[in-house]
Amino acid sequence: MGTRRNKRRQRRKSLRQKGGLCSGLCSGLRGGLCSGLRGGLRGGGQGSSIPAAGSLGGIAAGRLANAAPPAVNEHYPNIPGIFPNSPLAAPALAAVPRFIEVQNRAHLRSLTNRSLENVSHIFLSYVTNDDIDYIVGISAALTSITMFDLASYTGTGHMADTIMLMEAISRLTTLTSLSLSSIGIDDIAARALAESLPHLPALKSLNLSGNSIGAEGCAVIVQGIERCPTLVTLELPGNQIGNEGCVALCQSRIFFEQLRHINITNNHIGNEGFTVLAAALPTTVVLRFLDLYGNELSPELRRAITRARHNGRPIKIEFDEPEY
């Protein structure tokens, strides 16, 4: 009698363990990582000696749903374990941004308006001025773009093409990050870019590294940023803004109350420009990061800038190029 009772107890206990494991795994797969942890602990905890079973299911589903997309991707990411007809597929695919990286003309010319639907990040490199008209043409299809990166533009320096590109950028109203590095922007093109900035209401970061922007171009870009209040990061390394450009930047409203990160490395700036910067630095409101290396800075001004503080809180300043 006692033996039968013990066997029934063991059978019920075994069934409860299996039920806790399955229910935890299922709830984890349905709910993702967090709900899987909660559901798994509840399901596995009801008389089960394996309370973490549901957590494992949640972790597995969380990894599937949050799998990072490949860096180069023209199509919806292929997330392992999730099939197109699965109820998990739609929300998982919708949550992962679409990337496109273009490194040659043939690839660029293969893009169509349909292939650019819902693209959020696009990287273009090693294109020529002959490709600008095509880039301008497809820009109308980039209705969901948040990051536009054009680098290493090569060509014969047709300024009309560059200005046309600047005007097309003004129509990318969903942009949060714009990078135009080493594409030959001079003071004339900088003016066209500055006129585009007020039309980008979500823009937070602007990278213009490795161009030919001088003092005049820097001044007009500063004016454009003043009409783009969301922008908080300005990167101008490897240009030619000099002392005059540094003064224009440091005496502007954006230096005092808008920009959080400024990079003006390798810009032919000397003590004249840095004297103005040192005087303005203590009165800034939001500035937190300042990159200055690659310029001509005296030890005295370096110490003066180092002592600058905002309400007792230090600003992180890079005087020397970081070692990687």
Phi, psi (deg, nearest 5) at residue 16:
-65, -40
* pLDDT band, residue 9 (cuts 50/70/90): low
Please count the other Cβ atoms lying within 10 Å of the Cβ belonging to residue 320: 8
Q: Output the pLDDT for position 130.
A: 78
pLDDT, greater one: 300 or 34: 300
pLDDT in tens, 114-156: 778 788 999 988 777 778 888 888 888 888 899 999 987 665 4
Average pLDDT of the residues in 165-179 = 93
CA distance 219 to 193: 12
The predicted model scores a pTM of: 0.70
pLDDT in tens, 46-77: 433 333 333 333 333 333 334 333 333 333 33
CA distance 244 to 213: 12
Say which CATH architecture domain 97-318 belongs to. Alpha-Beta Horseshoe (3.80)
Q: Output the pLDDT for position 217.
A: 97
* pLDDT band, residue 7 (cuts 50/70/90): low
318, 291 in Cβ contact below 8 A? yes
122, 102 in Cβ contact below 8 A? yes
pLDDT surpasses 80 at 302:
yes
- Taking alpha carbons only, the member of 116, 135, 132, 134 closest to residue 73 is 116
pLDDT, greater one: 62 or 181: 181
- Taking alpha carbons only, the member of 154, 199, 145, 152 closest to residue 177 is 145
93, 76 in Cβ contact below 8 A? yes
Range of weakest confidence among 125-134, 236-245, 255-264: 125-134
Q: Output the pLDDT for position 232.
A: 97
Percentage of the residues of the chain whose pLDDT score is greater than 90: 44
Query: Positive or negative, the Cα torsion across 245, 246, 251, 252?
Result: positive
Instruction: Give domain limits for the chain.
Output: 2-65, 97-318
